[in-house]
A = this chain, B = another copy of it.
């Protein structure tokens, strides 16, 4: 057989492989990136599904438009307006989860050999997705205030795309401060590099000052991605792209070619759910839950981790990021931790090089009690591993 060469350089998702190992019920897993199932509005989705089929009938099960269900696109545009971002529903394309938006970005915006600037560390789903299209990756480091803007200015000059997760980044938990957001917006305008801003966690802030997306500061066209996975349900696979027409048009063509359209059935159910329920109250309850879990994790780390292990203290989102002393392998630690029935994700897949002294902890999917117990086990493991 003569298969395509492009897949040879694309890694199978490390996390999804790890999840198979860590799925045993006696393991406390901070490895995945799963929302807490108690946050899913099961009954409300059931009501919405019944209403949709009763009211729209066969239309809910027919082929529909590539762009997405118009009332859902309207809802998204209206919500942006509340953040000071003026867009029309015509600027919104519904996608099969925001992972698909990355595929469409790659198809429409990234040439083979084209330069793509990534945060370091960066979201592994984006690294994997873009890798299919053979770009030339360049990375810029993250600082506690966000991306290193001097490095970004250097890198962006001849790049096609800068991919960023400015709020509660996956994997680091870092959030760009306001000054960094303004600078990033300026650098994009100066260089003609297209900002692709991924914002799946933006609504999940537990503390600190709310900041709008970089898009709100931008004078140049940019692409903004959103998702319902973290605020309603990931299993519905509903996300979106918000972009000006010159970028959205080739993405719509790419979407037609990729799956014709996202299921109209799930789009209508979600829209009905959003109409019939107070989504802000729902999101506030998720914030309260994850905030408590985040606090439990930070406190447990303070108590149980050796001092040489550095960690971020995220103001929102789902992840916290740890850095080991130089030269210490997180992969080796991972295997030792598994013996103690606790799991995390070693940092390597979040780099385009082979860096191996960091790891990611997820706090959205475990109760404070499990977090305390799991971090205590991991602390014990770290002390032994570091010889303390």
Interface residues of A (CB under 8 A from B): 1-7, 10-13, 16, 32, 34-35, 37-38, 40, 42-43, 45-46, 49-50, 53-54, 57-66, 95-97, 99-100, 102-103, 106-112, 114, 125, 128-129, 131-133, 160, 192-194, 221, 229, 233-237, 246-247, 250, 252-254, 256-266
Which residue on B lies nearest to A20, using beta carbons?
A: B65
Whether B1 lies near A247 (C-beta < 8 A) is: yes
Whether B194 lies near A259 (C-beta < 8 A) is: no
Which of B10, B50, B133, B261 is A50 in contact with, Cβ under 8 Å? B50
Whether B58 lies near A53 (C-beta < 8 A) is: no
Taking the closest CB of chain B, its distance from the CB of A194, in whole angstroms, is 6
Measured between beta carbons, the chain B residues less than 8 angstroms from A233 are 61-62, 265
Which residue on B lies nearest to A115, using beta carbons?
A: B2
| Copies per assembly | 2
Give A128 to B38 CA distance when docked, in angstroms: 42
Q: List 5 A-B contacts (CB under 8 A).
A: A2-B114, A13-B66, A46-B54, A49-B49, A236-B263
Which of B40, B108, B260 is A61 in contact with, Cβ under 8 Å? B40
Give A109 to B63 CA distance when docked, in angstroms: 28
Contact A6-B50, Cβ < 8 Å, known A100-B258, A264-B235? no
Give A4 to B257 CA distance when docked, in angstroms: 16
Whether B234 lies near A160 (C-beta < 8 A) is: no
Whether B38 lies near A58 (C-beta < 8 A) is: yes
Whether A12 lies near B253 (C-beta < 8 A) is: yes
Beyond A64-B235, A97-B260, A128-B253, 5 additional contacts (C-beta under 8 Å) are A3-B108, A5-B111, A38-B58, A42-B58, A235-B263
Whether A58 lies near B46 (C-beta < 8 A) is: no
Whether B3 lies near A247 (C-beta < 8 A) is: yes
Give A257 to B128 CA distance when docked, in angstroms: 6
Contact A192-B53, Cβ < 8 Å, known A45-B61, A66-B16? no
Whether B1 lies near A192 (C-beta < 8 A) is: yes
Which of B7, B13, B234, B254 is A108 in contact with, Cβ under 8 Å? B7
Whether B100 lies near A61 (C-beta < 8 A) is: no
Which of B1, B112, B257, B266 is A266 in contact with, Cβ under 8 Å? B266
